[in-house]
Amino acid sequence: MNLIAAAARAYVYSGDWVADCPRIGCGSVEHLYERANPRQPNSPRVAQKPEFHCSYCGQTAPIDWPAQLAEITAILMLRPVPHTRNWYPQDHDTAVRFRVPHGQSVEQLQEENVEHGVPAGAVN
Ligand SMILES: [Zn+2]
C-alpha cells in the first residue's frame, strides 16, 4: 500500500483551476481556489488552497501546480468566453481520455488567442 498520496494535478477548466481527485475510482473534481466570500456563491475565487481536499471521498493530497501558473492564468483570462479557457499539463489523464490538448506552452496559448482575435497577452 502506498501511503504517500499521489499529487492532484492542477488544470484549468472553463477558467477555473481545478484538479481531479487522485484516489483511483473516485472521479471527483475540486476547485483549487477558495471564494473571497464563502457565503457568496458568485464571489471571485482568490485564495489558492494549500492542499487538495476531496469533498466526496475525503482524500487529501499535495497540489501539483505548473511553473507558469500566473502566465497561463493571465493569457486564458483574456478570452471572453469562459468555456474556451482550458489548459492541461502534459499527459493529464482527463485530457488524454477526452482527446483535448495538453502540455500546451504559454506561447501556444498566446497563438490560440491571436487565432481567435483575442490579444496574445504579455508574458514577463
Ligand atoms: Zn475523492
107-119: per-residue pLDDT in tens?
999 999 999 999 9
pLDDT of res. 35? 83
Residue 124 lies in a domain: no
Per-residue model confidence as pLDDT tens digits over 41-72: 788 778 899 999 999 999 999 999 999 999 99
pLDDT of res. 1? 47
Q: How far is the CA of 82 from the centre of ligand 1 (A)?
A: 26
Q: Say how far apart CA 47 and CA 90 lie, in whole Å.
A: 25
Q: Say how far apart CA 97 and CA 54 lie, in whole Å.
A: 21
Contact call for residues 38 and 45 (beta carbons, < 8 A): no
Task: Give 90's pLDDT tier (boundaries 50, 70, 90).
Answer: very high
Q: How far is the CA of 111 from the centre of ligand 1 (A)?
A: 35
Q: How many domains, in total, are found in the chain? A: 1
* Residue 34 identity (one-letter amino acid): E
Q: How far is the CA of 29 from the centre of ligand 1 (A)?
A: 8
Q: How far is the CA of 112 from the centre of ligand 1 (A)?
A: 33
This prediction's pTM = 0.89
Strand duo 63-64 + 8-9: pairing: parallel
Looking only at Cα atoms, what is the longest distance across the chain?
50
Residue 17 lies in a domain: yes
Residue 59 lies in a domain: yes
Task: Give 124's pLDDT tier (boundaries 50, 70, 90).
Answer: low
Q: How far is the CA of 49 from the centre of ligand 1 (A)?
A: 16
Q: How far is the CA of 23 from the centre of ligand 1 (A)?
A: 6
Helix, strand, coil percent values for the chain (each to nearest 5): 20, 20, 55
Q: Residue 26 pairs with which residues in a beta bridge?
A: none
Q: How far is the CA of 65 from the centre of ligand 1 (A)?
A: 18
Q: How far is the CA of 116 from the centre of ligand 1 (A)?
A: 36
Average pLDDT, the chain: 92
Strand duo 52-53 + 60-61: pairing: antiparallel
Residue 122 lies in a domain: no
* Residue 111 identity (one-letter amino acid): E
Q: What range does the domain containing 94 cover? A: 8-115
